[in-house]
Amino acid sequence: MRVKICGITKPEQGNAIAQLGATALGFICVPSSPRYVSREKISALTQGLSQAVDRIGVFANTTVTEICQTVITTGLSGVQLHGNESPDFCQQLRHSLPKIEIIKALRVRTTQCLTNSEIYADSVDMLLLDAYHPHQLGGTGKTLDWNTLQNYKPCLPWLLAGGLTPDNVSDALSLLQPDGIDLSSGVERSPGDKDLDKVARLFTNLLAKNSF
């Protein structure tokens, strides 16, 4: 199972989290976020990381040009779109970055959001389902209603996000079969400051569940 830890801001924590077993690290490229990191900081954060660990830049409602410049400057291996990006926008990005993974995040407010996910089938590589919040794009700690996802038949591989913690991840995976999980606030002391004990407990619980 893919395990992505998002909102990395400290190089020593990023390296430690990768060594604990994370298969992807997420770097927030949204200036309004308390977990925002600049291009220069991303380059410092990824220096020395194993090439086996995916480096995902998280963007929201910005331009293709801005995303491309960040990817080229930092060597990101993937892009996560966490705003209101349309399938056409995703196609433009795909054309500009044909070798870069594209993940489209959907903030699930109603079951209709799940139905609408099909419109991205031809324009992205993976979906991420996050909890809806009226004022924040992500990292809210708010949990999705997992029961509404039990009959979800995705058109693409997908990551489960939204309020996951080391303590509830086993319950989530008892109900659902995502291709991976994404955690941020659930393994933090404060925004951008990861709690390595929580991260270690996450992987212990995943191993006990035979999900990793």
143-187 pLDDT, tens digit per residue, is: 778 888 888 888 899 999 999 999 999 999 999 999 999 999 999
Domains and CATH numbers, the chain: 2-208 (3.20.20.70)
pLDDT at res. 132: 55
What is the DSSP-derived secondary structure letter of residue 149?
A: G
pLDDT in tens, 36-52: 999 999 999 999 899 99
The pTM (predicted TM-score) of the whole model is: 0.93
Computed over every residue of the chain, the mean pLDDT equals 91
The whole-angstrom separation of Cα 120 and Cα 45 is 30
List the catalytic residue out of 6, 29, 54, 90: 6
Q: 2 — phi, psi (to 5°)?
A: -75, 135
6 as an active site residue: the answer is yes
Q: How far apart are CA 124 and CA 102, in angstroms?
A: 5
Among this protein's residues, is 113 annotated catalytic? no
Catalytically annotated residue among 29, 54, 90, 130? 130
pLDDT single digits (tens) 100-143: 999 999 988 666 667 778 899 999 999 999 875 444 554 455 67
